[in-house]
């Protein structure tokens, strides 16, 4: 009989495979780069542009920026560098330790650590997702053993890199990357790092630890959930796991709405039934980081913060043609 760990492993493989191949939205500056899963080219739209310290931007604009940085973390170093350069970051560093991976991006005012989510061809990532046993953490409370082991691999080199950081520090991640970013941000409070995290932004993150862990630090945590995203519902609450932070919910129409209780359940059923009519299970497709980017961009526009991202529309760095080397193109006006 199939074990719970095997079922969870299979679930994660399906979620990530479907999420990573979801079509990108079509907006603004678009980079044509190979995808992480094949040699085929993928059009990568870029909406965010840093023209001031991140903390001066509205919450929704910050959310869009960190969603795009979480998406960029799935690409290799060459293509991730191209993406973040268009956003306005001046430097970056890639960290990889036994399959646990993260990027660090920085400019004159800010430093962002973006942890990479689950890769379907990385057994360590799948194993981390499957290992739902809780262990005592060096912070406080208990956390998911698999997520904690991923951070154990990566944290020493991240901590060393951040010791002398004087810039405003942010953490972000999607899926497993969101869980890792949550644990890393908590560990900053017990390290020799002088700059404490300004905030944490996660997308489609699973539950990471118990109530004691999520209440250990009063960290500004913005946690995005897209309708029926199944990863946000695991590990189950009956095992003692809890979500932290302030939830931001995207409804079945991709709109940012404050729904709870009966209204939330009704909205999830609408999303599920709509998915069936389209011959798909939205519990999986809702996990796509591309969906998060697309819907949060819509929330930015709906809130009237369009000017915050308008500066990037149809523009490339000075002196670069939109079609230079056949690699960058602009979307339809």
CATH 2.40.128.20 fits 4-330, yes or no: no
CA distance 131 to 176: 12
pLDDT of the residue at 169: 97
- Note if the pTM is more than 0.75: yes
Q: Give pLDDT tens digits along the chain (333 positions).
A: 444 444 433 343 333 333 333 333 334 556 555 544 444 445 678 899 999 999 999 999 999 999 999 999 999 898 899 999 999 999 999 999 888 899 999 999 999 999 998 644 333 433 444 344 444 344 456 787 778 888 888 999 999 999 989 999 999 999 999 999 999 998 888 787 888 999 999 999 999 888 888 787 778 999 999 998 989 988 888 888 888 899 999 998 989 988 888 888 888 878 778 877 777 767 788 889 999 999 999 999 998 866 566 444 333 333 433 333 333 333 222
Per DSSP, the residues of 130-195 read H---EEE-SSSSEEEHHHHHHHHHHHHHHHHHHTT--SEEEEEEETHHHHHHHHHHHHGGGSS-SS
Residue 157: per-residue pLDDT: 93
């Amino acid at each position: 009989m199939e074990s719970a760990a095997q079922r969870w492993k299979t679930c994660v493989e399906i979620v990530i495979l479907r999420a990573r191949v979801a079509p990108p939205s079509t907006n603004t500056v678009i980079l044509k780069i190979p995808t992480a899963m094949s040699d085929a080219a993928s059009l990568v739209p870029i909406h965010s542009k840093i023209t001031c310290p991140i903390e001066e931007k509205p919450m929704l604009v910050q959310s869009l920026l960190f969603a795009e940085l979480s998406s960029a973390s799935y690409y290799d170093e060459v293509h991730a560098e191209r993406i973040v350069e268009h956003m306005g970051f001046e430097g970056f560093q890639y960290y990889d330790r036994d399959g646990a991976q993260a990027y660090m991006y920085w400019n004159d005012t800010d430093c962002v650590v973006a942890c990479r989510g689950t890769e379907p061809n990385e057994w360590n990532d799948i194993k981390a997702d499957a290992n739902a046993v809780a262990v005592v953490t060096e912070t406080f409370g208990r956390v998911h053993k698999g997520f904690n082991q991923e951070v154990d691999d990566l944290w020493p080199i991240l901590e060393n890199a951040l010791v002398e950081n004087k810039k405003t520090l942010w953490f972000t991640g999607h899926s497993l990357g969101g869980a890792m970013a949550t644990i890393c941000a908590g560990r900053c409070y017990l390290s020799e790092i002088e700059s404490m995290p300004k905030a944490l932004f996660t997308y489609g993150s699973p539950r990471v630890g118990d109530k004691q862990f999520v209440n250990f630090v009063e960290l500004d945590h913005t946690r995005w959930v897209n309708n029926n995203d199944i990863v946000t519902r695991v590990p189950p609450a009956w095992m003692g796991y809890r979500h932290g932070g302030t939830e931001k919910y995207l409804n079945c129409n991709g709109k940012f709405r404050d729904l709870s209780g009966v209204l939330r359940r009704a909205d999830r059923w609408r999303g599920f039934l709509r998915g069936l009519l389209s011959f798909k299970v939205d519990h999986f497709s809702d996990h796509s980081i591309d969906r998060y980017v697309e819907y949060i961009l819509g929330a930015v526009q709906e809130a009237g913060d369009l000017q915050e991202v308008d500066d990037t529309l149809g523009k490339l760095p000075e002196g670069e043609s939109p079609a230079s080397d056949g690699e960058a193109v602009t979307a339809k006006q």
